[in-house]
Amino acid sequence: MGDFIWKPEYSVGDDHLDDQHKGLIELIDMLENESRMGEVLERLEVYVDEHFRDEERILENASYPDIVAHKQQHKAFEEWLAVSRRAFREPEVASMLRDSIRAYLKSWLVNHIMVSDKDYSSWLD
Ligand SMILES: [Fe+2]
């Protein structure tokens, strides 16, 4: 078990989005095993495609006022992921990647999910 365990206070008030956020914590745990880094990067790509689009659609439907800034944070994550996936294909860089990927994902949990995502929870039904 990694450093992060899901707690009820992280809930954004939508079971589907909460489940997707729990999935991200699982991916961080998977990084404890360095041999699974490629798999984690693949699954992050799926996470971005499914979760960010689901979340953005829900926020649009809820007329969330900070949607533009929120989408920009998602875009920054997508750009970081693209750079990380490219770096993973470079053998001399790949071995140094795991710690930085783990650090980025943990800061995303603390700064995005626990702050920016929590902020929209009061706008959802
Ligand atoms: Fe978000």
Note the pLDDT of residue 2.
62
Q: How far is the CA of 49 from the centre of ligand 1 (A)?
A: 12
Q: How far is the CA of 116 from the centre of ligand 1 (A)?
A: 7
Report pTM: 0.92
Q: How far is the CA of 52 from the centre of ligand 1 (A)?
A: 6
pLDDT tens figures, 56-77: 999 999 999 999 999 999 999 9
pLDDT tens figures, 91-107: 888 778 998 999 999 99
Torsion sign over Cα 121, 64, 119, 79 = positive
